[in-house]
């Protein structure tokens, strides 16, 4: 494992004897929690920023993203089932080949166009 990313336990003042806390050494970043080819189920993520995350070819099920920002992230070939994206923003992304089925698109805006309202007018629903 790269020394800059190696986790090592460190004693903290006021902790019970034997209690340890993992700290990332050398100011490095911890390994990503979200990776390609993952199964994510029943997760909740709120007010988070996901920038340049590779989450391609993953299955995401019954997961709620609330007020999150997805920026320059890759979800190519991923499947989202029973997920919520209320209040989220997706920017600088490719949505080629995306298919939305049985989704509540009320308030869905793409490049300033309220697509949810357009669909309501077209379908009468």
pLDDT digits (tens, 9 = 90+) for 87-118: 999 999 888 888 888 999 999 999 999 999 99
pTM above 0.75? no
On whether the CB atoms of residues 74 and 54 are closer than 8 A, the answer is: yes
Nearest Cα residue to 2 out of 33, 24, 23: 24
Write out pLDDT tens, residues 32-50: 567 788 888 898 999 999 8
10 Å Cβ neighbour count for 31? 11
CB 58 within 8 A of CB 80: no
Quick check: helix, strand or coil at residue 118?
helix
Phi, psi of 66 (to 5 degrees): -120, 120
- Are 42 and 65 in contact by the 8 Å Cβ rule? The answer is no
């Amino acid at each position: 494992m790269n020394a800059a990313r190696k986790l090592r336990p460190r004693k903290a003042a006021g902790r019970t004897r034997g209690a340890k806390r993992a700290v990332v050494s050398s100011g490095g970043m911890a390994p990503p929690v979200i990776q390609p080819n993952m199964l994510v189920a029943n997760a909740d993520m709120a007010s988070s920023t996901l920038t340049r995350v590779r989450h391609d070819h993953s299955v995401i099920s019954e997961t709620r993203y609330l007020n999150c920002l997805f920026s320059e992230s890759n979800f190519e070939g991923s499947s989202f089932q029973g997920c919520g994206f209320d209040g989220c923003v997706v920017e600088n992304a490719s949505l080629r080949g995306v298919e939305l089925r049985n989704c509540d698109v009320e308030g869905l805006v793409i490049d300033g166009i309220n697509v949810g309202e357009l669909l309501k007018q077209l379908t009468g629903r």
